[in-house]
Amino acid sequence: MRKTTTILKVLLIFTLIVCILLYAKSVLAPLAIAAILAMLFVGLSKKLEKRGWPRWASALLSVGILFASTTGLLLLLSWQMQSFASNIDSMKENILQLIARLQNWIDAQFGLDQEQQKSLAKEQVATGKSNSGMASSFASGFFSLLVDMILVFVYTYLLLFYRTRIKKFLIRVSAPNDQEQALEIAHRSTEVATSYMSGLAKMIVVLWLLYGSAFSLIGVENALFFAVLCGVLELVPFIGNLTGTGLTILGVIAQGGKSDLIIGVLVVYAVVQFVQTYLLEPLIVGTEVNINPLFTIISLVAAEAIWGISGMVLAIPVAGIIKIVCDTVPSLQPYGYLIGSDKKRRQAPWQRKGAEK
């Protein structure tokens, strides 16, 4: 009976949390992203403060590094987009030729001539948004994104500045017997988020180099743009790398690339995935976020449904923090076992040989 009551309580709490997350997305999403980023810079802030830096200065420098990194990435993407746009005319010609071939194929297979296909396309456009509506929607979305970015920077600074107060708050709201447990959860959560995010950032930089050199070698136009795109999309596990490769293939097709170039892109993707799985992840990222693949995918899908893209980026580190909470609290340990994995840290090939010796 007690177990049934506990399960019902957990389900009720889980339902309430989902409802709060869903309806308070605009408030909580920037705060959650800032919390993960603040965890990433806690180590740097502590080192600076040990050397005599005031708290406000260490927090400000951390946010400055974050701002410089974000600005640099946006400038790099903007620069590559300009280079990409310079080839837009030739890409239009290739796309029109591709559409013409596709229309001929549809005509041959389904008996729909080009006029019928155009009329169907016009009906679809008529049911969609108008150009003015799309423009206003884009402007609104861009302004919302800009506000969220500013909030993330502000929240990150404030969380770093008031981290001692937040730590004392956790102690005060915990029962006397649970204070040590609460501090352990906070400490381990910070370690996991820091290790995962810093390792992921390093891996993305290495992937930029790998994809950029490989795409340039096989002759992909705007290779650096697609390399940066594939690397950044690694923020979303499983889905990001497939999306990046798919967009690269579409870009190659639009640029008039032949089948051998498309095969080259697929080969590059396969080789980079092998290097990423057996070399980069064991050496750089590790297995600090020890979640099994089933709940990794469930976390991604659920996070996307609740918070969209920002939710997918946060899904894995948040799932890792949830597992730490479950492993630390005795009554929640069965749930920690359910979402966890027994897989040990994957070793690189040369590490295995060394271990065997």
If DSSP codes are grouped into helix, strand and coil, which group holds residue 283?
helix
Is residue 85 pLDDT above 70, yes or no? no
**Mind giving me the DSSP string for 65-117?**
HHHHHHHHHHHHHHHHHHHHHTTHHHHHHHHHHHHHHHHHHHHHHH---HHHH
What is the rounded radius of gyration, in angstroms, for the C-alpha atoms of the chain? 24
Give residue 202's pLDDT: 84
**pLDDT tens track for 282-313:** 666 555 567 777 888 888 888 888 888 778 88
Is residue 187 pLDDT above 90, yes or no? no
Q: Considering the chain, what is the average pLDDT of its residues? A: 76
Is residue 348 pLDDT above 50, yes or no? no
**pLDDT tens track for 113-161:** 555 545 655 555 444 444 445 445 545 666 777 788 899 999 999 999 9
Q: How far apart are CA 325 and CA 170, in angstroms?
A: 14
Tokens of 246: 């798919």
- Nearest to 229, CA basis, from 207, 241, 212, 244: 244
Give residue 102's pLDDT: 60
Q: Fill in the DSSP letter of residue 346.
A: P
- Nearest to 80, CA basis, from 235, 212, 173, 266: 212
- Nearest to 233, CA basis, from 309, 157, 155: 309
Is residue 44 pLDDT above 70, yes or no? yes
CB–CB of 207/343 below 8 Å?
no
CB–CB of 223/231 below 8 Å?
no
Give residue 175's pLDDT: 77
CB–CB of 347/282 below 8 Å?
yes
Give residue 329's pLDDT: 79
Q: How far apart are CA 156 and CA 115, in angstroms?
A: 56
CB–CB of 87/255 below 8 Å?
yes
- The stretch 27-40 carries a mean pLDDT of 88
**pLDDT tens track for 63-79:** 999 899 888 888 877 77
Give residue 154's pLDDT: 93
Give 106 or 18, the one with higher predicted confidence: 18
Give 352 or 50, the one with higher predicted confidence: 50
- Nearest to 154, CA basis, from 37, 249, 34: 34
- The stretch 21-44 carries a mean pLDDT of 87
Among residues of the chain, what percentage have pLDDT more than 90?
8
Among residues of the chain, what percentage have pLDDT more than 70?
73
At position 293, the amino acid (one-letter code) is P
Cβ atoms within 10 A of the Cβ of 124, count? 8
**Mind giving me the DSSP string for 139-196?**
HHHHHHHHHHHHHHHHHHHHHHHTHHHHHHHHHHHS-GGGHHHHHHHHHHHHHHHHHH
- Nearest to 182, CA basis, from 166, 196, 195: 166
Give residue 251's pLDDT: 76
